[in-house]
Amino acid sequence: MLYQTIDILGTVAFAISGVLVAMEKRLDLFGVLIIAFVTAIGGGTLRDLLIGNTPVVWMRDLTYVVTIFIAVVFAIIFVKQLKYLRKSLFLFDTIGIGLYTMIGVEKGLEAELLPIMCIFLGTMTACFGGVIRDMLCNEIPIIFRRKEIYATTCIVGGASYFLFVQLPIKEGYAYIAAIVVVITLRLLAVKFDIRLPSVYEKKTG
């Protein structure tokens, strides 16, 4: 129940972020819908394709399509008010990437992949909906550019799960602990403006 609620909140946050990007690009109604869908389910779809888990998950479960559709209608109507929800949306998004990361890790374990591949799949589930969104909107994906700790929190969180399961605790707790790691790291990174190290030399003057 809690799990499902989080999943829906995450989907809503991703869909709304899609609507906002699409409307900034002045796309039409169909474009806004598709971008919202892709943002919310693109990462999981890519994951399912890579491991051969087809038909992909949202095709077998109406929840996602209905949730996204309602989120899009809501976002289009209340687009002006959304700025007052900025903090809530950030929180949903952060909880969402935590959960999505672990859903991806779990799918990798089910497919009997190595831990590092599971972490890949988790990060992909959480982050690549946004990557496809940006490709469709003709932008270089934002998570490749900003030096923000975003994907990195998913990687660290996914890796932490494989540490936690070594401990003498129930697997369910390890799962939840890893989600908490992602969320905490992201909140700390934003609060203290922690960034990726630059791969470029500084220009000296």
Which position among 11, 17, 39, 45 is part of the footprint of a copy of itself (CB under 8 A)?
45
Of 86-105, binders to a copy of itself (CB under 8 A) are none
Q: Considering beta carbons, is residue 37 or 92 the nearer one to a copy of itself? A: 37
Strands in the chain per DSSP E: none
Contact predicate 125/104, CB 8 Å: yes
Q: How far is the CB of 173 from a copy of itself (least distance, A)?
A: 27
Contact predicate 48/118, CB 8 Å: no
Which position among 5, 54, 81, 88 is part of the footprint of a copy of itself (CB under 8 A)?
54
Tell me the residue type at 149.
I
DSSP 84: G
Distance CA 100, CA 122 (A): 7
Q: Would you count residue 204 as binding a copy of itself (CB under 8 A)?
A: no
Cβ-based neighbours of 170, under 8 Å, separated by 6 or more: none
Best CA proximity match to 96, nearest among 130, 139, 46, 53:
130
Which position among 20, 32, 174, 176 is part of the footprint of a copy of itself (CB under 8 A)?
32
Which position among 8, 143, 178, 181 is part of the footprint of a copy of itself (CB under 8 A)?
143
Q: Considering beta carbons, is residue 2 or 62 the nearer one to a copy of itself? A: 62
* Tokens linked to 30: 């169909």
Q: Would you count residue 119 as binding a copy of itself (CB under 8 A)?
A: no
* Tokens linked to 201: 């030399």
Binding site for a copy of itself (CB under 8 A): 22-23, 25-32, 34-35, 45, 49-52, 54-56, 59-60, 62, 65, 76, 111, 113-114, 116-117, 120, 131, 135-141, 143-147, 151-152, 196-200
